[in-house]
Amino acid sequence: MSNQSYEEQKALVFKGLMLLGAITIIEVVVALLAKGHLIHGVNFSHGFGHYLYMLLMVGFSAYKAYFIIFYFMHMAYEMKGLVMSVLLPATLLVWAIIAFFQEGHSWGARREQIQQKNQEVVKPAPAGNPQGYYVIPGTTSAMRS
């Protein structure tokens, strides 16, 4: 636990309140600006501005998360082993985000192909070929037998 005096601890709480509140207000103001609610005709909904906006929002949120974990939850004053055993597993999520967003993106890009596949009609295999199946010609080019 921290070796701070009671007054120092109270000051930290006040600092936390101001910091989290200020970041939240900045986030919302930037969001309203980016989505075109503050200045008529100005928005960052496409291209580079949009990426910058998203990066900014993720950055602010990450800082809020860091502050809550390290100062409100006292992670800054815990032993390194505890810190590592909590934070290191969380880095697995980086890969989860990359992998699943890529998956979702590819799913979206191949929406028409998926619909086409869903409409394929499958016919039972002919007697001489018990393992294969036919896709009725004309529905798709893919065929296995």
Partner 1 sequence: MSETSVDHAHDTHEHVDDSQLWEGGESPFRASYGKVMMWYFLVSDAFTFAGFLIAYGALRFSMPTWPEPDFVFASFPFVQAHWPLIFVTFMTFVLIFSSVTMVRAVQEGHRENQRGVVFWMLLTILGGATFLGSQAYEWTTLIATENVSVTRNPFGRHIADGVYLNEDGSESKNEDGTPMTFHKDQSYLIHMHDGKATGVVYHDPNSKGETMAHHEGTKIKYTTGVWAGQVKDVAFGPKAFGALFFFITGFHGFHVFSGVVFLTIIMLNAAGGLYAARRNGYEMIEKIGLYWHFVDLVWVFVFLVFYLL
Task: Enumerate binding residues for partner 1 (CB under 8 A).
Answer: 1, 6, 9-10, 13, 16-17, 20-21, 24-25, 27-28, 31-32, 35, 37, 40, 45, 54, 57-58, 61, 64-65, 68-69, 72-73, 78-79, 81-82, 85-86, 89-90, 93, 96-97, 100-101, 103-105, 107-108, 111
The number of residues in the chain equals 145
Q: Pick the closer one to partner 1 by CB: 97 or 143.
A: 97
What is the DSSP-derived secondary structure letter of residue 133?
A: -
3-state secondary structure of 142: coil
Q: Pick the closer one to partner 1 by CB: 40 or 144.
A: 40
Residue 69 C-beta: closest distance to partner 1, Å: 7
Q: Pick the closer one to partner 1 by CB: 64 or 140.
A: 64
How many Å apart are CA 64 and CA 24, to the nearest integer?
Answer: 9
Residue 107 C-beta: closest distance to partner 1, Å: 4
Half-sphere exposure of 103 (CA within 13 A, CB side): 6
**Residue pair 49/33 in contact by the 8 Å Cβ criterion:** no
Q: Pick the closer one to partner 1 by CB: 72 or 133.
A: 72
Residue 129 C-beta: closest distance to partner 1, Å: 36
Measure Cα distances from 15 to 28, 72, 74, 77, 121 in Å: 20, 11, 15, 17, 65
